[in-house]
Amino acid sequence: MSIAEIKDSLPAYAKDLKLNLSSLFNNPGMTDQQVYGTALACAYASRNAKLLRAVAAEAEGKLTPEALEASKGAAAIMGMNNIYYRFTHLVSEKEYATMPARLRMNIIGKPGIDKADFELFSLAVSAINGCGMCIDSHEKILKQAGLNKEVVQNAVRIASVIHAIAAVLDAEEALEG
């Protein structure tokens, strides 16, 4: 299924998502790697098979093999980190935040692509996973790298649209089954 077919398959109540999907891959100020890497990381994080396949097909030829791996890696590592760091941020006992995480996070130090692009993918996935501590950390690094607020906002916009479409597709599939 292609992105166009995904768009056409969305029900009438999701018209706004259709409209947003139409412009999702057109983000002035962002490189193709930033746009498609962010979208792919978000599709992985959103876990809908149809949407993941469509976004992966859309990203084909626009991402280097290294960027493809980094996009998947951002979804994977944030899947772990967002749970852990959201816990340390939300739990009343603050001592947990001072304890060593003892989690391997090598990809963050050596993502295989431009560090800022990897941080952008990670920020978008962290927004989906709802980890404020991670969002703040990635946004700070992006500012230090010189990315402007519009690029950060666009990445989160991509995350919000991808995640919402995944939720609609999952819901509609549940009703069919």
Per-residue model confidence as pLDDT tens digits over 105-119 = 999 999 999 999 999
The residues spanned by each domain of the chain are 3-176
- State yes or no: pLDDT of 177 exceeds 80: no
- Domain 3-176, CATH 1.10.3720.10 — does that match? no
Other residues' Cβ atoms within 10 Å of the Cβ of residue 92 = 5
pLDDT averaged over the chain? 97
Residue 26 falls in which region: left (phi positive, over 0), alpha (psi -120 to 50) or beta: beta
pLDDT in tens, 96-106: 999 999 999 99
Residues designated catalytic: 131, 134
Q: Which of 120, 121, 127 is nearest to 160 (CA)?
A: 127
Q: Give the pLDDT mean for 84-92.
A: 97
Q: Which of 123, 145, 144, 143 is nearest to 134 (CA)?
A: 123
